[in-house]
């Protein structure tokens, strides 16, 4: 998400630092930032708190091009169904 990338850049926060703050891996954060996946609800809430509501949970729901991305929860369900 472009707005989150801008937020991190403006505030001089590294991806590694931010991943630690929101409780996820740098791999997951990078996938979110590059538009590969959407954050889970819990992670979106953590992002909202960490950005002092500059990036809200609602922002993730309204992003126009998120139809091709999956959440962590969707990926886990897919893995369970394959087992």
Q: What CA–CA distance (Å, rounded) separates 15 from 24?
A: 11
Reported pTM = 0.75
- For the domain made up of 2-82, the CATH class stated in words is mainly alpha
Who's near 35: CB < 8 A, 6+ residues apart?
1, 65, 69
What would the pLDDT profile of 26-74 be if each residue is shown by its tens digit? 999 999 999 999 999 999 999 999 999 999 999 988 765 555 555 555 5
Q: Are 57 and 50 in contact (CB under 8 A)?
A: no
Q: How confident is the model at residue 12 (pLDDT cuts 50, 70, 90)?
A: very high
Question: Looking at residue 77, what is its pLDDT?
Answer: 61
Q: Where are the domains of the chain?
A: 2-82
**Spatial contact of 48 and 55, defined as CB atoms under 8 Å apart:** yes
Q: Give the span between the Cα atoms of 21 and 46, in whole angstroms.
A: 8
Question: Residue 81's pLDDT band (boundaries 50, 70, 90)?
Answer: low
């Amino acid at each position: 998400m472009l707005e989150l990338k801008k937020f991190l850049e403006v505030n001089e926060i590294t991806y590694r630092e931010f991943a630690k703050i929101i409780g996820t891996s740098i791999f997951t954060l990078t996938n979110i930032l590059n538009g590969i996946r959407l954050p889970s609800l819990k992670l979106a809430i953590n992002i909202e708190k960490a950005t002092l509501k500059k990036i809200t949970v609602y922002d993730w729901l309204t992003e126009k091009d998120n139809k091709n991305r999956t959440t962590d929860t969707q990926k886990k369900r897919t893995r369970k169904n394959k087992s």
